[in-house]
Structure 1
Amino acid sequence: MSRRKTRKQVFENVEVIDAGAKGKTIAKAPDGKVIFLPNAVPGDVVDVQTFKKRKAYYEGKATVFHKLSDKRTTPACEHFGTCGGCKWQDMAYEHQLFYKQKEVTNNLTRIGHIELPEVTPIFGAENQYFYRNKMEFSFSDSRWLTLEEVQSDEDLGDRNALGFHIPGMWDKILDVKKCHLQADPSNAIRNAVKAFALENDLEFFNTRNQTGLLRTMMIRTSSTGDIMVMIQFFKEDKEKRELILDYLGETFPEITSLQYVINGKANDTIYDQEVICYKGNDHIFEEMEGLKFKINAKSFYQTNSEQAYELYKITRDFAGLTGNELVYDLYTGTGTIAQFVAKQAKKVVGVEAVPDAITAAKENAQFNNINNVEFFVGDMKNVFNADFIEANGTPDIIITDPPRDGMHKDVVQQILNIAPAKVVYVSCNSATQARDLALMDEQYKVVKTQAVDMFPQTFHVENVVLLEKR
């Protein structure tokens, strides 16, 4: 039985009226259904071609622009529209902030049915470009071709790429000339590595065939001036490996941590691989309010250091610590928030599922001479139970910063069982945050909310909520 094809429809002179989830904008079709668009800005008047029809909505794309919105701005990046990294780069920053704030408020009120206090304006970023401290680039011997290149009869020349995956295409890499997300020397390092690899016939990876030498490159920077570069090789070739690593170390002496991985797996994740230090240290340091945080190649750390500092200050302020409280920091990661609030608490207990993260948390606490924190590793829904509370004390305040999926329902229930005076909920996904808040609504009221823009030019937004017992 053949699959029925969706008939494409064209709607003319449609006004884009709003921004929705995952960065898509919203228009209304003549039949009243919503249309989700990936390539328009609220205020545009466009012709739309649909490519998917559902019961309550269409998905489509703007094909003709009759009027451009006054909310638009000129994208800074030449790769905008092809690279999927900065989908809102054509929207002026003040409007990005408006729609991020609106999304958070809508999620809390519509999904969570939460009665909100007066909403504090979103905390915007001073630096809207070159704010990331970590970037990962992929090598490919079959770079993404533009439509013009595909249709051209001319020789396409170099097909190698060092850049980002095309959205939705696991085997196609956009060759990036300049990325506006990470400050130099990131672009200089990436471009130099590509040029050197081509000059010396170092093979770029082919994902489909699982062949080649150079696989990925990660660059991490920090506010202390440290720079980490890690190259992932698909196979060991000592001569070629040392050739490119020596070149990097000599050309960029400011690199303080030069590392590599040999990964012959089908996928390029490094978390089950040995990371080998070739030159310098096996880590870099980030600093915040005199606290130093050791970051290795596998560490999780907020990728916008400046806004992370603001996020943590808001979290600490919401907690309202006096020095007498036992604080639980759930999903503590490498213990950044735990250590950031420790000076103002009696004791902080951090819980995290990733063993390497807890190892780093303990090292950082020792390095910072913080003696009133204790860290435990394990699956949150299994570790955070009545026995754990009995052994470590009943918290006065719980800070929780879960992943995008939010908290497991058993964790939410355990918080309700403990009934601390305050809960500070930090979230990178206000939809799952709203779901969890709805489960807590009978016992807790939302006293404060504060959205924080960690990722300018994207639709992502963090939100901090203070809950107090009713």
Structure 2
Amino acid sequence: MTDTTTIPANDDGAGALPDGWLRVESLDLEAQGVARRADGKVVFIEGALPGELVSASTYRKKNNWEQATLTAIHHESSQRVAPGCPHFGLHAGACGGCKMQHLHPAAQVAVKQRVLEDSLWHLGKVRAETLLCPIHGPAWGYRYRARLSVRHVQKKGTVLVGFHERKSRYVADMGVCPVLPPHVSAMLMPLRALVGSLEARDTCPQIELACGDEVTALVLRHLEPLSDADTARLRAFAAAHPSVQWWLQPKGPDTVRLLDADGPQLAYALPEFGIRMPFKPTDFTQVNPHINRVLVGRALRLLAVQPNERVIDWFCGLGNFTLPIATRAREVLGVEGSEALVARSRENYKENQAPAQAGRALAATTFVARNLFEMTPQALVQDGVADKWLVDPPREGAFALAKALADLHQQRIGAQGAGLLPAGAEAEGWTPPARIVYVSCNPATLARDAGLLVHQAGYRCVAAGVVNMFAHTAHVESIAVFERSDTPG
């Protein structure tokens, strides 16, 4: 696609370009190159990288912008690299699972850092006082969780197992997937053959993958009951792939069950804290266990929990942060919206309570289920005083939580228009946490919540940085630290 056309002599980065050429200025949140035509109209170009001079074919036009696909590169970015997967690209049938394999992994991290900084400033009017070093790790073989679509294509006489094609509902014809663990990538073709051999091959639309430290759980979604012959085929596959453990899902996530109860437990470890976390394959866990271990360690160092402190972990899930916090704090409260996850977190707490596992007994820890998207100042006060918070929300962010904290601050300082304090708040001596560590999977909602914390809740954003949990995708995870403005820096 790269040509050898000479760049015009007057092209110094701002000069006129030949007709049809575009200068790519940046990447957007979907990893599309952003360019502008001479009339100022923005063009989003799939496959183009910042600094490149390109030609592109427009496939969608609006008054102020266009979407286009790269057709030629006249001047290539020094950060462009050969994709590591044969199924990545702009060609027909290309896999849509990754968007940035053509960009050097280090440059991907830099782009995501810029996205975080821009989001904080443009959406929240917040600048972090310190930029944290990015957390990044292996660029390949990292994806320990995935939802693989399955389709029996009768006309071709084959079964497809993998991600969807780029911008399509069709399943990509994948033979390998380098972002999956090598042993899982090597199973794609055997899985295709397995499903093709099933009597139920037309009623099995999905296989969900969840890898633990010892177990590779495969959850087969089946719309009709499986025959004895089909379950025997699943068992034979597991016997040929010793780490595989089959789970069956006839209906919703609550119906997931093990095909056979024998074998090791699906779990992952956090060795730095002596914690072992059992989980079900449909429970939420981080996609990248390598990054998760580093992230948990950094979050606790930033939180700087002391033995005499009480900490609240909001959106605590299975206890991924809660249990490590409990190895440091005096008391911990974990709050989560899902009753099922709260039950699992309680089980995990009991399993890790033995002093020998964590070096000492875990702190007194309570888990409660609550809808955190309906948090109020009154409910916040009722949860009691905490020295520090860990906040790890889904993509929707933690707006209600930040808003409740902001409302309490505005009421306390007597801001104009602020309502009365919740009954009992002053009598109980409630005070906001001195420090908040916020782990985010969406820079836009982080920026929105950061704006509330900084401009209305009395906090400073003392640090922020990206976490490259999903290499080769445009997904941006990050971590930010907030301290009360009256706390010494």
TM-score under structure 2 length normalisation:
0.83
SS of alignment partner, residue 129 of structure 1? coil
Do structure 1's residue 97 and structure 2's residue 109 form an aligned pair? yes
Question: Partners of 1:176 and 1:437 in 2: how far apart?
Answer: 41
Question: Partners of 2:198 and 2:135 in 1: how far apart?
Answer: 48
Aligned residue pair count: 429
Do structure 1's residue 121 and structure 2's residue 113 form an aligned pair? no
Do structure 1's residue 79 and structure 2's residue 80 form an aligned pair? no
Tell me how far 1:328 sits from its aligned partner: 0.9
Corresponding residue number in structure 1 for 2:260: 278
Tell me how far 1:431 sits from its aligned partner: 1.3
Contact 2:397-2:442 within 8 A present in 1 as well: yes
Corresponding residue number in structure 2 for 1:147: none
Contact 2:331-2:364 within 8 A present in 1 as well: yes
Do structure 1's residue 140 and structure 2's residue 130 form an aligned pair? no
Do structure 1's residue 192 and structure 2's residue 180 form an aligned pair? no
Give ranges in structure 1 of 5+ residues lacking alignment. 1-9, 144-155, 205-211, 264-269
Question: Partners of 1:68 and 1:112 in 2: how far apart?
Answer: 34
The answer to which of 419-428 and 185-194 deviates more is 185-194
Cα distance change, pair 55–437 in 1 and its aligned pair in 2 (3 A):
farther
Cα distance change, pair 173–240 in 1 and its aligned pair in 2 (3 A):
farther
Tell me how far 1:169 sits from its aligned partner: 3.0
Question: Partners of 1:41 and 1:65 in 2: how far apart?
Answer: 10
SS of alignment partner, residue 21 of structure 2? strand
Cα distance change, pair 428–11 in 1 and its aligned pair in 2 (3 A):
farther
Corresponding residue number in structure 1 for 2:300: 316
Q: What letter is aligned with 1:395?
A: A
Corresponding residue number in structure 1 for 2:12: none
Question: Partners of 1:241 and 1:403 in 2: how far apart?
Answer: 37
Do structure 1's residue 53 and structure 2's residue 61 form an aligned pair? yes
Q: What letter is aligned with 2:36?
A: K
Question: Partners of 2:469 and 2:19 in 1: how far apart?
Answer: 36
SS of alignment partner, residue 300 of structure 1? coil
Tell me how far 1:330 sits from its aligned partner: 0.7
Cα distance change, pair 328–55 in 1 and its aligned pair in 2 (3 A):
farther
SS of alignment partner, residue 268 of structure 2? strand
Contact 2:143-2:288 within 8 A present in 1 as well: yes
Contact 1:275-1:297 within 8 A present in 2 as well: no
Corresponding residue number in structure 1 for 2:325: 341
Contact 2:160-2:171 within 8 A present in 1 as well: yes
For each residue in 1:75-116, what CA deviation from the matched residue of structure 2 results, as whole angstroms up to 9, or x when unmatched?
010100211111100111121111111111111112111132
Q: What letter is aligned with 1:241?
A: D
Question: Partners of 1:228 and 1:100 in 2: how far apart?
Answer: 31
SS of alignment partner, residue 292 of structure 2? helix
Corresponding residue number in structure 1 for 2:467: 452
SS of alignment partner, residue 162 of structure 1? strand
Cα distance change, pair 258–13 in 1 and its aligned pair in 2 (3 A):
same
Question: Partners of 1:96 and 1:11 in 2: how far apart?
Answer: 30
SS of alignment partner, residue 362 of structure 1? helix
Corresponding residue number in structure 2 for 1:215: 205
Contact 1:397-1:423 within 8 A present in 2 as well: yes
Corresponding residue number in structure 2 for 1:356: 340
Tell me how far 1:282 sits from its aligned partner: 8.7
Question: Partners of 1:363 and 1:375 in 2: how far apart?
Answer: 10
Corresponding residue number in structure 2 for 1:182: 180
Give ranges in structure 2 of 5+ residues lacking alignment. 1-17, 354-361, 409-430
Question: Partners of 1:331 and 1:249 in 2: how far apart?
Answer: 35
Corresponding residue number in structure 1 for 2:394: 403
Corresponding residue number in structure 1 for 2:120: 108
For each residue in 1:44-86, what CA deviation from the matched residue of structure 2 results, as whole angstroms up to 9, or x when unmatched?
2211222333343222222233232221100010100211111
Tell me how far 1:278 sits from its aligned partner: 2.5
Contact 1:202-1:213 within 8 A present in 2 as well: no
For each residue in 1:104-160, what CA deviation from the matched residue of structure 2 results, as whole angstroms up to 9, or x when unmatched?
1111112111132132332221x11001112221211239xxxxxxxxxxxx84343
Cα distance change, pair 54–213 in 1 and its aligned pair in 2 (3 A):
closer
- Identity value in percent: 23
Cα distance change, pair 237–121 in 1 and its aligned pair in 2 (3 A):
closer
Do structure 1's residue 331 and structure 2's residue 315 form an aligned pair? yes
For each residue in 1:410-436, what CA deviation from the matched residue of structure 2 results, as whole angstroms up to 9, or x when unmatched?
321222325221111111111110111
Question: Partners of 2:469 and 2:218 in 1: how far apart?
Answer: 23
Question: Partners of 2:103 and 2:228 in 1: how far apart?
Answer: 48
Q: What letter is aligned with 1:423?
A: I
Question: Partners of 2:108 and 2:58 in 1: how far apart?
Answer: 25
Question: Partners of 1:21 and 1:197 in 2: how far apart?
Answer: 36
For each residue in 1:8-42, what CA deviation from the matched residue of structure 2 results, as whole angstroms up to 9, or x when unmatched?
xx971112121111222211112112211222122
Question: Partners of 1:339 and 1:174 in 2: how far apart?
Answer: 39
Contact 2:267-2:278 within 8 A present in 1 as well: yes
Higher strand share goes to which structure?
Answer: 1
1:421-440 alignment runs, 5 A limit: 421-440=434-453
SS of alignment partner, residue 327 of structure 1? strand
Contact 2:326-2:332 within 8 A present in 1 as well: yes
Tell me how far 1:165 sits from its aligned partner: 1.7
Question: Partners of 1:325 and 1:258 in 2: how far apart?
Answer: 43
Question: Partners of 2:44 and 2:76 in 1: how far apart?
Answer: 17
Question: Partners of 2:265 and 2:31 in 1: how far apart?
Answer: 34
Contact 1:141-1:203 within 8 A present in 2 as well: no
Contact 1:109-1:116 within 8 A present in 2 as well: no
Do structure 1's residue 260 and structure 2's residue 248 form an aligned pair? yes
TM-score under structure 1 length normalisation:
0.86
Q: What letter is aligned with 2:250?
A: I
The answer to which of 96-105 and 412-421 deviates more is 412-421
Question: Partners of 2:373 and 2:146 in 1: how far apart?
Answer: 32
Corresponding residue number in structure 2 for 1:146: none
Question: Partners of 1:383 and 1:97 in 2: how far apart?
Answer: 34
RMSD: 2.2
Do structure 1's residue 288 and structure 2's residue 303 form an aligned pair? no
Question: Partners of 1:11 and 1:364 in 2: how far apart?
Answer: 63
Corresponding residue number in structure 2 for 1:5: none
Tell me how far 1:319 sits from its aligned partner: 0.9
Cα distance change, pair 245–335 in 1 and its aligned pair in 2 (3 A):
same
Contact 1:258-1:279 within 8 A present in 2 as well: no
Cα distance change, pair 328–181 in 1 and its aligned pair in 2 (3 A):
same
Contact 1:14-1:45 within 8 A present in 2 as well: yes
Tell me how far 1:365 sits from its aligned partner: 0.5
For each residue in 1:261-280, what CA deviation from the matched residue of structure 2 results, as whole angstroms up to 9, or x when unmatched?
224xxxxxx42434343353
SS of alignment partner, residue 217 of structure 1? strand
